[in-house]
Structure 1
């Protein structure tokens, strides 16, 4: 039987391959963020990394090399897969398949494009911090440019989602029976990614004006994302209760996990800006409370979604079997998000609240769990890329619904 690359049957969900790689870039940055000193700055930069390398023992130096190599590799994958997707998406838009797609529930999947663009901008900022000397000296000039970029991506996302809502709310045709997944939460994820990028200056800028604009605009995307997610979750659950979860799109049941991490970081960035510039201090207790609630909700969602995936035998079919679906890339973001949220819960929550000693035994036990989730997703990315962009034996592409 002849074989084809599954990616030859294009779906906008392949943008999630780029998003997943970008997310792994963030997980390696967490090592630098929380393990090396960066006095006077909210994030580590090239000079901090070089100082830590010069003063560190061999274990510290090895960690820094692995972290920087991981950031470089997955940032490259992020950009490469984004470019591939943009080229394929542009060609796909001119086909009859796209016209048919645009009249279905799946039309909202096009918001994977601004999601990937926003992730790429966030990843680009990390690349600059880690590899560009003296970047911090001009960072105040970069913040307004970054805000303009995120705003442009946000406008694109609003336009795309407006096209979808405008069609279904004026013409009808939304298939509630086929909405037996959480795929309609994808637009919320896209808006949250724009929002977290827009909130970065609130956490890092020394200008109250820039920080204030950052907080105001990011709040719009925060609330837009939350509203869409709540409505989409209710509609999806209603359909699943009646029709069962769709096997091909079952990974979307976990999309709330990365959504919560991104919105959590957005709120933490805003809280920092409120404290530094506007005298609204939140304190370690508030941070611990927020991250605890978010992490607890994530574990609940993982149990719920994991139960469905196991019952359906998803891994045996779409990860190790003969079937392929672009929707499998939706499995990467939850693992990445869990790893990142655990790092924030530990370092900004437990450590700052004085519950866990930094670099103590409990610290490394929790960190090991975060790293286990991180490297499980590294393995999954490599597996999926080989299956979808290589030529797996005996595997045929399954068109995304």
Structure 2
């Protein structure tokens, strides 16, 4: 792996670690939705191991594959995270860092809290599937989870505060270089923090902790939505005025993971409200919401694909010698589409009894999402080879 990039480093390299973490979580989705866990909101070791022992050969094979995927990509996530932290510390000592802090690119620093939030999710998954009886101490762990995500959230707010203060005071935002949706990495980060903060709301049995989780998660989710409106308007305005910046064309797909994360945040918050505050949410409501968000993802996915294909982005910036740190932005949409596809199939179709689980039609509907996951893994390893292991 390349080392000591110095001024050539970019905070967008954190997206490589983010992608690996997302792929680890994506394999957890198989266990989450296919292994029964009626007594807990998420699947745990105490569900997986008995089901594995009693399952048929194909079920044992699928569980084994999921566990291998979780461990493999979690390991890659940690390795890439350590590499990024080391390279970022060196980058901070260069004049290029000062230049970044005084340009539009300063917003790329939000890739750091985004990736750190994913790290907590990765370790949460590892603990759930590999540590027996971990669920019995969940109420001890949830306060630490909230504190961890809040610390990352405060770090993200500090980055945004410095960024917007500079823009408001100096009025030096360069609209001619804003012709992409790359600045929406900030919304992505806030959404990731919100979904992490929403987890105790869906899983805790302590009403006060649930209320705290609801409030802080809603705060970051609302902030993400407000900024998303602003960034979409400004981004599309500058794209239409100046044309899409080719090297950032992959940012057209950033709406896909944002929709996934905000959708999961809503599901978690709804679970907490239903459990503690005597409200009811019918499965059909999840079907309607997830269908709407999935539609938005498909729209941006198709538009983005057509534009990137026309610009030769896949040829030059994914498969070619122009591949760089921003190219890793393509991993998250693939992960997000697969993850939200799993939510769509299981909460939207299986829970509403439209499609029986493990039926032929169930696997047929699931197949496109599995293919997206497989293609994302292929792209991830291809980019690692071209970008991080280049001579």
* TM-score (norm: length of structure 2): 0.97
Report the counterpart of residue 142 of structure 1 in structure 2: 141
Name the CA distance, whole Å, in 2 between partners of 1:246 and 1:7.
24
Name the CA distance, whole Å, in 2 between partners of 1:346 and 1:246.
35
Residue-by-residue CA offset, 1:74-131 (whole Å, 9 max, x unaligned): 1111111111111111111111001111111110000000000000001110000011
- Would you say 1:65 and 2:76 are equivalent positions? no
Report the counterpart of residue 308 of structure 1 in structure 2: 307
What root-mean-square deviation, in Å, do the aligned CA atoms of Structure 1 and Structure 2 show?
1.3
Could you tell me how far 1:391 is from its partner in structure 2? 2.0
8 Å Cα contact 1:5/1:388 also seen in 2 = no
Name the CA distance, whole Å, in 2 between partners of 1:366 and 1:64.
20
Report the counterpart of residue 108 of structure 1 in structure 2: 107
Name the CA distance, whole Å, in 1 between partners of 2:388 and 2:321.
15
Name the CA distance, whole Å, in 1 between partners of 2:242 and 2:93.
33
Residue-by-residue CA offset, 1:205-234 (whole Å, 9 max, x unaligned): 111111111111100000001111110011
Name the CA distance, whole Å, in 1 between partners of 2:173 and 2:119.
31
8 Å Cα contact 1:118/1:194 also seen in 2 = yes
Could you tell me how far 1:25 is from its partner in structure 2? 1.0
Name the CA distance, whole Å, in 2 between partners of 1:227 and 1:6.
38
Could you tell me how far 1:324 is from its partner in structure 2? 2.3
Report the counterpart of residue 169 of structure 1 in structure 2: 168
User: Which residues of 2 match residues 309-388 of structure 1 at below 5 A?
Assistant: 309-388=308-387
- Would you say 1:95 and 2:84 are equivalent positions? no
Could you tell me how far 1:6 is from its partner in structure 2? 11
Q: How many residues are paired up?
A: 389
Structure 1 runs of 4+ with >3 Å offset: 4-8
Residue-by-residue CA offset, 1:308-347 (whole Å, 9 max, x unaligned): 1111101111122221221100001001100011100110
8 Å Cα contact 2:319/2:382 also seen in 1 = no
User: Which residues of 2 match residues 144-223 of structure 1 at below 5 A?
Assistant: 144-223=143-222
Where 1:323 maps in the other structure, the secondary structure is coil
Report the counterpart of residue 267 of structure 2 in structure 1: 268
Where 1:94 maps in the other structure, the secondary structure is coil
Could you tell me how far 1:7 is from its partner in structure 2? 6.3
Structure 2's unaligned 5+ residue stretches are none
Could you tell me how far 1:362 is from its partner in structure 2? 1.6
Report the counterpart of residue 75 of structure 2 in structure 1: 76
Name the CA distance, whole Å, in 2 between partners of 1:324 and 1:358.
40
Report the counterpart of residue 54 of structure 2 in structure 1: 55
Name the CA distance, whole Å, in 2 between partners of 1:146 and 1:296.
32
Where 2:126 maps in the other structure, the secondary structure is helix
Name the CA distance, whole Å, in 1 between partners of 2:5 and 2:114.
19
Where 2:226 maps in the other structure, the secondary structure is helix
Name the CA distance, whole Å, in 2 between partners of 1:347 and 1:221.
27
Change (3 A) 1:75 1:310: same
Name the CA distance, whole Å, in 1 between partners of 2:334 and 2:255.
11
Where 1:354 maps in the other structure, the secondary structure is coil
Where 2:295 maps in the other structure, the secondary structure is helix
Could you tell me how far 1:380 is from its partner in structure 2? 1.0
Name the CA distance, whole Å, in 1 between partners of 2:287 and 2:218.
21
Using CA pairs below 8 Å that are at least 6 residues apart, which structure has the higher relative contact order?
Answer: 1
- Would you say 1:11 and 2:31 are equivalent positions? no
8 Å Cα contact 2:200/2:210 also seen in 1 = yes
Could you tell me how far 1:39 is from its partner in structure 2? 2.2
Report the counterpart of residue 294 of structure 2 in structure 1: 295
Moved more, 317-326 or 125-134: 317-326
Where 2:247 maps in the other structure, the secondary structure is coil
Report the counterpart of residue 284 of structure 2 in structure 1: 285
Moved more, 188-197 or 86-95: 86-95
Name the CA distance, whole Å, in 2 between partners of 1:35 and 1:230.
36
Where 1:249 maps in the other structure, the secondary structure is helix
Structure 1's unaligned 5+ residue stretches are 393-401
Name the CA distance, whole Å, in 1 between partners of 2:161 and 2:356.
48
User: Which residues of 2 match residues 22-61 of structure 1 at below 5 A?
Assistant: 22-61=21-60
